Structure 1
């Protein structure tokens, strides 16, 4: 699951990197298909270099992801009920710390991406003016396929931005909302933000471990 989410996150990085500024230049599924092809070309031959230079990999991710990923909206969804009682400063700090932690956690997933491993499926029904889901299949090493969907929303500036990854029907937003909620209940939102800011991906690993232990 971790490797697959890394791969899904990697494709998301490529998808959001070149989404058109206006929604009428290309549909989201057309963009995903073209980027799925282009991403493989860009990564091939550079895996060893990027694997040995994690800082460079993170800089690449930041340059690609931040302009087109709706981290503020995604973070509000992850906070769930706690978003209503948080301050604007807390939400801003959480969004930045959570994004940085996710980027570091799944950075090497970008290196697992190879051409032909993602199939973009036809869109079902009419595209919404505000939201849409891009459905894909990821081909695993053993030849089996995994359903990976990407949720997009259109901002007030008419830009399509990605905010969620759904693997086999499981949303990363929902998954982390449960983990974040449990952590806040054990301590506080401020304490969680501080841990994310100082320990980053290690905090995510602890949260995931605790959730598995409680199941």
Structure 2
């Protein structure tokens, strides 16, 4: 399971921020900002060598602003979300976000090894929920199909799920989270996430 999760997070690390003031299309956002992050990593020896402070800086400034952590957490917690209090929901979002940050950071240094090819976007006028398809490859390895599920918010498009060769990020976590809730309730899930986030 950990191997699947790591594969799911690699493409997330490729999708970074854009300086554009206007709302740009989801496929353009993905393409332009993926190239931006790859260039940053290629040009920074510290990042490629795993320097934590620089890696986390890129994650915080270039990646996190483009994800809807509230929706991602709600989808991952699934039916148990409605049984949580507002305070528990806030804790779940915070802990899940922290968990994703740690995994993004662990994958970022290898981004420069990959080539990303974005496919033509299938999107009708007025669509606010789309899938951006891409294929990620590197020498000596078979290509991986990556689909970004994105929604249009008031100010930008946001990622709320990623599928790698058909495997959904939120579904992978949903199975794990459901198991934790069965064992210890919502507080048990929060405690489990907190422990994971405290590991060095």
Match of 2:26 in 1: 28
Q: How many positions carry a matched residue from both structures?
A: 196
Q: Where do 1:105-116 residues align within 5 Å?
A: 105-114=103-112
From the superposition, tell whether residues 127 and 108 of structure 1 become closer, same or farther in structure 2 (CA, over 3 Å).
farther
Q: 1:115 offset after TM fit, Å?
A: 6.8
Matched, 1:184 2:181: yes
The SS at the match of 1:66 is helix
Contact 1:150 1:166 (8 Å CA) reproduced: yes
Which of 6, 9, 27 is the equivalent residue of 1:6?
A: 9
From the superposition, tell whether residues 174 and 3 of structure 1 become closer, same or farther in structure 2 (CA, over 3 Å).
closer
Match of 1:45 in 2: 43
TM-score, length basis structure 2: 0.86
Greater displacement, 187-196 / 124-133: 124-133
- Please list every run of 5 or more consecutive structure 2 residues that lacks an aligned counterpart in the other structure: none
TM-score, length basis structure 1: 0.81
Match of 2:136 in 1: 138
What is the alpha-carbon distance in structure 1 between the residues aligned to residue 80 and residue 51 of structure 2? 37
Contact 2:123 2:130 (8 Å CA) reproduced: no
- Please list every run of 5 or more consecutive structure 1 residues that lacks an aligned counterpart in the other structure: 203-215
Please report the RMSD computed on the Cα atoms of aligned residues, expressed in angstroms: 2.3
The SS at the match of 1:107 is helix
Which of 148, 161, 176 is the equivalent residue of 1:164?
A: 161
Q: 1:44 offset after TM fit, Å?
A: 0.7
